[in-house]
């Protein structure tokens, strides 16, 4: 009757931590390390191949985009990455942004805008310098 009231009373014994069973599959430590290294190399190689595949696809898409731009006389956007990031921020999730009126009064926001402006100017100067050389 006591066993019926206490579910732990008839529980089978649990193997202890001190058991000497090992899961080494008959391989030495060096062989296991070599297998892990080979596995990691295979993962890196697959990642490189995947990256190259998608880069090639993106390059092909860019050729098509440029053809469309030429056909309809559209200028290429200056920085496509920034446009994509702006689209991601407008999904309604995360912290909401302050309004422009509030930003004008905040000296931190003003400093950030000034720093961004200087950074963009420096980038433009660097690009012009590279073009001239």
Per residue in 27-37, pLDDT (tens digit) is: 899 999 999 99
Q: Is 10 contained in some domain?
A: no
* Percent of the chain whose pLDDT exceeds 90: 42
Q: Is 26 contained in some domain?
A: no
Query: Per-residue DSSP letters for 3-34?
Result: HHH-TTTTPPPPPPTT------TT--HHHHHH
The 10s digit of each residue's pLDDT in 72-117 is 999 988 876 554 555 555 555 655 555 555 556 788 888 899 999 9
The tally of domains found in the chain comes to: 2
- Domain hosting 131: range is 106-133
Are the beta carbons of 3 and 9 closer than 8 angstroms? Answer: yes
Q: Helical H runs in 20-106? A: 29-72, 80-89, 100-105
Q: Is 120 contained in some domain?
A: yes
pLDDT-based confidence at 62, cuts 50/70/90? very high
Q: Is 23 contained in some domain?
A: no
In terms of C-beta density within 10 A (0-12 exposed, 13-18 middle, 19 or more buried), how is residue 90 classed? exposed
Q: Is 82 contained in some domain?
A: no
Q: Is 68 contained in some domain?
A: yes
Are the beta carbons of 38 and 44 closer than 8 angstroms? Answer: no
Q: How far is CA 129 from the centre of its chain?
A: 32
Report the pLDDT value the prediction gives residue 91, as an integer from 0 to 100: 55
Mean pLDDT value across the chain: 78
The structure tokens 């990642």 sit at 47
Q: Is 53 contained in some domain?
A: yes
Report the pLDDT value the prediction gives residue 117, as an integer from 0 to 100: 93
């Amino acid at each position: 009757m006591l066993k019926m009231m206490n579910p732990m009373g008839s529980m089978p014994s649990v193997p202890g931590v001190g058991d000497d069973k090992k899961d080494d599959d008959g391989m030495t430590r060096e062989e296991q390390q070599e297998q892990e290294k080979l596995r990691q190399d295979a993962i890196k190689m697959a990642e490189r191949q995947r990256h190259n595949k998608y880069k090639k696809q993106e390059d092909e898409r860019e050729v098509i985009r440029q053809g469309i731009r030429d056909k309809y006389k559209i200028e290429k956007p200056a920085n496509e990455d920034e446009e994509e990031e702006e689209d991601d921020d407008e999904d309604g999730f995360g912290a909401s942004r302050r309004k422009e009126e509030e930003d004008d009064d905040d000296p931190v926001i003003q400093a950030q805008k000034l720093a961004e402006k200087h950074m963009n100017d420096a980038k433009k100067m660097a690009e012009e310098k590279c073009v001239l050389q």
